[in-house]
Amino acid sequence: MQSKVKIVGLDCPNCARSLQNEINKLEGITNADIEFVNSSLTFESENPEEALMSIISLTKKLEPHARIYTEGKDNKNRKGLIIDVMTLTIGIILGIILLTCSMSKWLFWSLYVTSALLLGWKTYLKAANLLFKGIINENLLITISVVGASVISEHMEGLMVIALYSIGKIFEGLAVNKSRNSIEKLVRLQPEFANIIIDGKEKRVKPEEVKLGSTIVVHAGEKIPLDGIVLKGQVLVDNQSLTGESVPVQRKEGDEILSGGIVLDGTIEIKTTSEQKDSTVAKIMNLVENASKNKSKTETFISKITRWYTLGVVVIALLVLGIVWIVTKNFELALYRGLIFLVVSCPCAFAISVPLSYFSGLGNASKNGMLIKGSNFLDACAGLEKVAFDKTGTLTTGKFEIKEVESYNGLSKEEIIYLCALGEQNSLHPLAKAVCAACKGDLEKVENIHEVAGEGLNFTYQDKEYFVGRKDKNLKTTTIELYENNVKIGQIELRDMIKTSSRLACEGLNGIGIKTVLLSGDNQESVDKVAKEIGINEAKSQLLPQEKYEYIKTCQENGEKIGYVGDGINDAPSLTLANVGFSMGINGSPASIEASDVVIVDDNPQKILSAIKISRYTRKIVWENIILSALVKVVVLSLGAAGITGMLVAVFADVGVTLLAVLNSMRALKYNPNRREKMQKRV
């Protein structure tokens, strides 16, 4: 049985990783996984309650300031911060007194030890507990530096190292928590209740208790708990938490409505079309919460090297100590240079900023209605060179209407529509839905239904064999043909409206150097017309699903990184094969959502452009952090080895750079992918 709890108070990903490894060693616990950025711990156990007690006990030993809880809000965060600040303040005051006033030796050492303990007792305790488990991390590096500075009588520097390190950790924690809180708002969409109609009266229940097909009521100011169809009423709905769009949308009788939105005015009755576990909100929460499990190559690499990095730092620091001792014949000087190396080389800047940058980018995308399933796919978006689009339901609305009906054997137009609808009544294809919607009256059952791949289907009605679909590949419009006993007796021409956002999406993609291509099963003339209207670079027509798949495969064999955008079941193979698969609509085909790497919540093609912009911006920030951290550390290490800088500069190179990298990472959460477009509109 899998369990999930919150874990707060961990200082860095290294601490989380070390604790995770130790939890997995506990008896009866498997697949323990700590997600540092979103403060979650998942584990599997046949006895979850007993396992959780063991985890809490172990956590208290290895991470005494961390807390685990399962329900409700954790009210100890602010209290713990206040205690930390008070302890640091007292420690700093004692340090100032002993370093500025004359006193006896025993009093000096008493105050010094007290000050050092107050400033860094958490660091020392963590270092000792982890070392006892055979784990070496940055807490041990700082502890050794403080002890070493005390041994060589660099008392002021010893206290300053632990004081600045602890202060830096507090600020790092505040910055990380601010980012976490911003992202957690994205998954606080789930309404707490639903007003269900039972025997003509409203009853407030939990959303998971509402069955499919029930009638619920939503009043002004309440969240919509479940997906459904509006039965009664007309309201404005705020869908910003779902799609990122700030303009409210109107919903009236007969309209589809998504869970998670907020009714701004009036009251509506809704017939539910999903249970809570299958609702839009549930899908979004699941995608966002699991996104951090799919890590990018950069993030995975940083994660792997930090496991051995700290041990390597200790070894190199000993080498520095040895070399300087041999050259200068001065042990205290050699020890001091070695301690500088330990402080500078702490891996916090890399270990925290890289995953936080990616998580901020994923959070930004989610906030704007793009659910990216992991930082690996975020990275992949940044590298795309071409984007291929399906046409129907992707660039067009997917809602067809009948333009013209032709009859070749004397049947009326209504009869042609009825016969076509008989065959199409069980199909989910947009063309089939349009024909069935235009048919008046109830549809009879037909027999011997047999699908013809890529063409249509055969069926038997009143002892006659019918085919509905498309056999003539030379037709220049979107047309459904009707055959009776292999003789064409009629056809229906349909038209589909192009989304207003499709042209803007393609123009934007072309503007940032990404080629666009249209892959469609329609005839060449229809496809060329759509491609020209919305500014697509290349158009391919009359393609079967497997031919779209082969096109993407060919592009990849030629070294191109290609994304594919689709919304139907037949798009699933292409979505899976593409470097990045974009599925249109959270309520689209489950197969396409499962196969895709990015889910666009509101069917807006412009979100493809936004996702790529966010991914490129995030990757830029990741490399800014890596280069900044590495450059500062190399410079300070070189100056320290030459005796130009001291331990205080080394602390800045560690804690200061880490804090700068964390703050820089948060820019990925605030980045507006539409900023330039909005400025142009104002002009």
- Are residues 503 and 486 both part of a single domain? no
The full DSSP string for 649-675 is HHHIIIIIHHHHHHHHHTHHHH--TTH
Same domain, 392 and 504: yes
Per-residue pLDDT tens digits for 172-213 = 667 666 666 655 555 556 678 899 998 888 999 988 899 999
Total domain count for the chain? 4
Please list the ranges in the chain whose pLDDT falls under 50.
72-75, 677-683
Pair 386, 405 in one domain: no
Same domain, 208 and 235: yes
Q: Give pLDDT, residue 9.
A: 74
Rg (CA), the chain: 32
pLDDT of residue 184: 59
Q: How far is CA 294 from CA 41, 338, 376, 377, 595, in A?
A: 16, 38, 6, 8, 15
CA distance 262 to 582: 27
568 domain residue, yes or no: yes
Query: Within this chain, do residues 607 and 507 fall inside the same structural domain, yes or no?
Result: yes
Distance in angstroms (rounded) separating the CA atoms of residues 158 and 151 = 10
Q: What is the pLDDT of residues 70-83, one digit of tens each?
A: 654 444 556 667 88
Q: Which residues are catalytic?
A: 390
Angle at 15 between CA 12 and CA 19, to 5 degrees: 145
Has residue 103 been placed in a domain?
A: no
Please give the pLDDT value at position 681. 38
> 68 and 217 share a domain?
no
Same domain, 482 and 509: no
**What was the pLDDT predicted at 79?**
66
Residue in the structure block whose two tokens are 């200790």: 314
For residues 523 and 410, state if they share a domain: no
Question: Residue 385 is part of a domain; what is its CATH number?
Answer: 3.40.50.1000
Domain-located, residue 593: yes
Which two structure tokens, joined as six digits, stand for 186?
């994205």
In the prediction, which pLDDT does 75 show?
47
Q: Are residues 564 and 546 in the same domain?
A: yes
- DSSP H or E stretch at residue 336: helix 331-344
Asked whether the whole model's pTM tops 0.85, one would answer no
State whether 525 and 599 are in the same domain: yes
The Cα 524–Cα 60 span in angstroms is 68
Residues 258 and 385 in one domain: no
Q: What is the pLDDT of residue 677?
A: 46
